Amino acid sequence: MRPPHPDPIIDIHSLSCTYRDRGTVLKDLDLSIREGEFVLLTGPSGAGKSTLLRCINGLFQHDGIQGTASGEVRICGMDPADTRVCDLARLVGTVFQDPDHQLFSSDVESEIAFGLEQLGVDPAKMRGRIEEAAGVVGIEHLIQREVNALSWGERQRVAIASVIAMHPKILLLDEPTSGIDQSGAGHLVSVLKRLNEEIGLTIVVAEHRYEHFSRVCSRLVSIQDGTVCYDGLPVRPDLQVSERDQGSATGADVPDRPPLLSFEGIVYTYPGAARPALNGATLLVHAGEVVVLAGPNGSGKSTLLRHANGLLTPDRGTVKVGKEEIRGKSVAEIASSVGFLAQHADTQLFAETIGDEISFAPENLGFSPEKKEASVSRVMGALGLDRIGRFAHPLNLSVGEKQRVAIAGILAMETPVLVLDEPTLGLDPARKAGLAEGLRRFAREGKAVLVTTHDHEFATLLDGREVKMQDGRVVPMGGEQG
């Protein structure tokens, strides 16, 4: 690793950030990062990690709606508050938690080229920069694909490539491995390590999946209650999960109970796609079990889950909840039986307050006022949302907090089937452990729980029956499709 430059490239003193509807998040924070450092930023959900990154790239200072900042911030010697965001973007590249927040071109090649065009890169050199960035993150095979046809993890890698292609001096990444499979995460970490070592790129990564970066970062900074509580070598024994908490790694046996959710021979092809995303997928989820669906990005996991509540209708095959086929039913009708969490909370949140968001579905399902209030209070307490309060705007929260609001909205419905797509986005280890225990408890109560996740630690905590997607089909873990 190159020795860092002695002068700080990021220099922050007494930084405080206050949101209008949720109070102060960062409190007199001091942090200096030298050019060439590789910093891992950790801390519980809502601690202020994303806010800190938004102060480094200037987005917080130039957003006069969400809140106010005080203190001194210097990035490459410039004050972000006095520098246009577009000018700072030439030096600071940011990969956000949700790739859909920064992707807007129709195809992958155009997406990577967009930033280069804004920088005025010579067209003769642009092709090389596009190919270089695509190769760095391993998406050469996606270069001609439509962005909307990609999986969440594939879109995440496109977002990273589009930033890397601009050759920034500082690279900020907010939960970059959240939607990427184990292989893709390992590849990304190797890429970042090489960029840091070979060209001296300064990298700051906010991440809960600590295990991916602990061996390659040069420094760990942990934030708690809005200030730095640890700054030093990347050694954090408190983040290790005990063997007792992990549960069995072999997964549970299929219970001797009827299936509550059945996918039978599901075939589905997205409009305009050359081949089916699902090609005969069959899976039974029984009452009383947790099923963990694994597999690489693009294997069909999210597509299968979207069939569970009628968001997608199979070209062939049947989906049943209990003994009843759901074809022909509306999503609203199925919602009384299947609680569905999409891969990113922003696609599900729409109400003005947390309380309205969580109570929306119970109210529409006909809960009595007493039952609705009891359900909302229960899930808010279980997920730690009562500390934020019912009147905060969901979309002004951190990604981890938004994720908990979305999960609370699903759990408040009290459905017999729970389907969750990558539910740990933005959740710290303690929240992940609590969610895993809650889902195991639901299974013990006789519910059927289906979860997709790339988070190996969370999958282990769930202690469920593990299956995987492979080329649009479901196969046992370690098995081959027939």
Q: Which amino acid is at 151?
A: S
Give a yes or no: residue 85 inside a domain: yes
Is the predicted pLDDT of residue 316 greater than 70, yes or no? yes
- Residue 276 sits in the same domain as residue 214: no
Dump pLDDT digits (tens) for 65-78: 678 899 999 999 99
- Residue 248 sits in the same domain as residue 235: no
Domain edge (last residue) among 208, 239, 270: 239
Dump pLDDT digits (tens) for 379-428: 999 898 988 889 988 878 888 888 899 999 999 999 999 999 999 888 88
**So what's the pLDDT on residue 138?**
83
**So what's the pLDDT on residue 152?**
75
- Residue 231 sits in the same domain as residue 316: no
With beta carbons less than 8 A apart as the criterion, state whether 91 and 58 touch.
no
With beta carbons less than 8 A apart as the criterion, state whether 261 and 420 touch.
no
**So what's the pLDDT on residue 100?**
78
Among candidate residues 411, 475, 474, 418, the one with its CA nearest the CA of residue 451: 418
CA 98 to chain centre: 7
Query: The domain containing residue 49 runs over which residues?
Result: 8-239
- Residue 295 sits in the same domain as residue 256: yes
Kindly state the percentage of the chain with pLDDT values over 70: 92
With beta carbons less than 8 A apart as the criterion, state whether 463 and 248 touch.
yes
Report the alpha-carbon distance of residue 168 to residue 170 in Å, rounded. 5
Dump pLDDT digits (tens) for 330-343: 999 999 999 999 88
- Beta bridge mates, 171: 93, 203
Q: Determine the angle formed by the axes of helices 123-136 and 108-118, rounding to 10 degrees.
A: 130
Question: How sure is the predictor about 283, in pLDDT bands with cuts at 50, 70 and 90?
Answer: very high
- Residue 183 sits in the same domain as residue 256: no
Kindly state the percentage of the chain with pLDDT values over 90: 55
**Domain at 216, CATH number:** 3.40.50.300
Q: In the 8-state DSSP scheme, what is residue 249?
A: S
Give a yes or no: residue 167 inside a domain: yes
Is the predicted pLDDT of residue 278 greater than 70, yes or no? yes
DSSP assignment of 410-444 equals HHTT--SEEEEESTTTT--HHHHHHHHHHHHHHHH
Among candidate residues 480, 482, 472, 352, the one with its CA nearest the CA of residue 405: 352
**So what's the pLDDT on residue 257?**
78
Question: Cα Rg for the chain, rounded, in angstroms?
Answer: 23
Mean pLDDT of the chain: 87
Cα distances (Å, whole numbers) of residue 317 to 138, 258, 279, 296, 322: 34, 19, 10, 23, 16
Give a yes or no: residue 3 inside a domain: no
- Beta bridge mates, 284: 262
Dump pLDDT digits (tens) for 420-463: 999 988 888 888 999 999 999 999 999 999 999 988 889 999 99
Dump pLDDT digits (tens) for 174-208: 988 876 777 777 878 888 888 898 888 999 999 88
Q: How many domains does the chain have?
A: 2
* 205 phi, psi to nearest 5 deg: -120, 120
- Residue 186 sits in the same domain as residue 325: no
Give a yes or no: residue 1 inside a domain: no
CA 449 to chain centre: 20
Give a yes or no: residue 34 inside a domain: yes
**So what's the pLDDT on residue 2?**
55
Give a yes or no: residue 257 inside a domain: yes
With beta carbons less than 8 A apart as the criterion, state whether 112 and 159 touch.
no
Cα distances (Å, whole numbers) of residue 380 to 348, 377, 388, 408, 432: 17, 5, 9, 7, 16
**So what's the pLDDT on residue 394?**
87
Question: How sure is the predictor about 237, in pLDDT bands with cuts at 50, 70 and 90?
Answer: very low
Give a yes or no: residue 149 inside a domain: yes
- Residue 166 sits in the same domain as residue 81: yes
Dump pLDDT digits (tens) for 54-67: 999 999 988 766 78
Question: How sure is the predictor about 256, in pLDDT bands with cuts at 50, 70 and 90?
Answer: low
SS3 75: strand
Report the alpha-carbon distance of residue 56 to residue 73 in Å, rounded. 8
Give a yes or no: residue 214 inside a domain: yes
- Residue 132 sits in the same domain as residue 257: no
Is the predicted pLDDT of residue 133 greater than 60, yes or no? yes
With beta carbons less than 8 A apart as the criterion, state whether 36 and 5 touch.
yes
Mode of pairing for the β-strands spanning 289-294 and 448-452 = parallel
- Residue 190 sits in the same domain as residue 204: yes
Mean pLDDT computed over 360-376: 93
Is the predicted pLDDT of residue 248 greater than 60, yes or no? no
Name the more confident of 481 and 80.
80
Mean pLDDT computed over 118-127: 89
- Residue 413 sits in the same domain as residue 371: yes
SS3 13: strand
Cα distances (Å, whole numbers) of residue 157 to 162, 196, 455: 9, 18, 17
Report the alpha-carbon distance of residue 74 to residue 80 in Å, rounded. 7
Report the alpha-carbon distance of residue 435 to residue 437 in Å, rounded. 5
Sign of CA dihedral 382, 292, 212, 132: negative
Domain edge (last residue) among 239, 261, 296: 239
Residues 6+ apart with CB under 8 A from 459: 292, 294, 451, 453, 466
Global pTM value: 0.65
Domain edge (last residue) among 239, 258, 280: 239
Q: In the 8-state DSSP scheme, what is residue 18?
A: E
* 294 phi, psi to nearest 5 deg: -110, 180
Question: How sure is the predictor about 481, in pLDDT bands with cuts at 50, 70 and 90?
Answer: very low
Instruction: Give all strands of the β-sheet with 227-232 in edge-to-edge order.
Output: 92-95, 170-174, 202-206, 38-42, 219-224, 227-232
